[in-house]
Amino acid sequence: MSTWSEFETAAPEIAAGGRRLLAAREDGQALLATVRADDPPRIHPITVWIVDGHLYSFLLTSAKRIDLERDGRYALHTQQDHAAPDEFSIRGRAQRVDDRTVRDAVGGGWSFEVDDTYDLYELLIQSAILGLRRADEWPPRYSRWSEGSA
């Protein structure tokens, strides 16, 4: 799995589009899909930020956090704007970050007050898709990246 900065080095145009779409909503909103072996996938609203080359999210105790603790697999999709319907999606594995120094550094610039009820997760990236189109255009022009691809 790749950190955001490794992904950005390997696929700079896709990463730049993804960064733009993740920042399009000032609070970093996106949709997170998680899985459990015994249940269908779940979809959750989530806040993410890219900090020092890593993609992070703070999570309270919830179904999404339990899913990530048990399995770790996720898919993340940016929120869409009907007037500018570009899209960005990544898949990979989440890992909890227990390093207090990293947690404090990331939490200091977060869009909401982070306390000890939140756990910090880094979203490591295995694959990414960027779809670009105007509102009157179909289908989107897709660019794809997978870890290990040239």
Give tens-digit pLDDT for 105-129.
Answer: 999 878 788 899 999 999 999 999 9
Q: What is the pLDDT confidence band of residue 81, given thresholds at 50, 70 and 90?
A: confident
Euclidean distance between CA atoms 75 and 80, whole angstroms: 15
Euclidean distance between CA atoms 63 and 85, whole angstroms: 29
Bridge partner residues of 44 (DSSP): 32
Whether the predicted pLDDT of 27 surpasses 80: no
Can you tell me the mean pLDDT for 48-71? 92
In CATH, 4-146 is 2.30.110.10: yes
Q: Which pTM was predicted?
A: 0.92
Q: Tokens for 128, please give them.
A: 């990414």
Whether the predicted pLDDT of 147 surpasses 60: yes
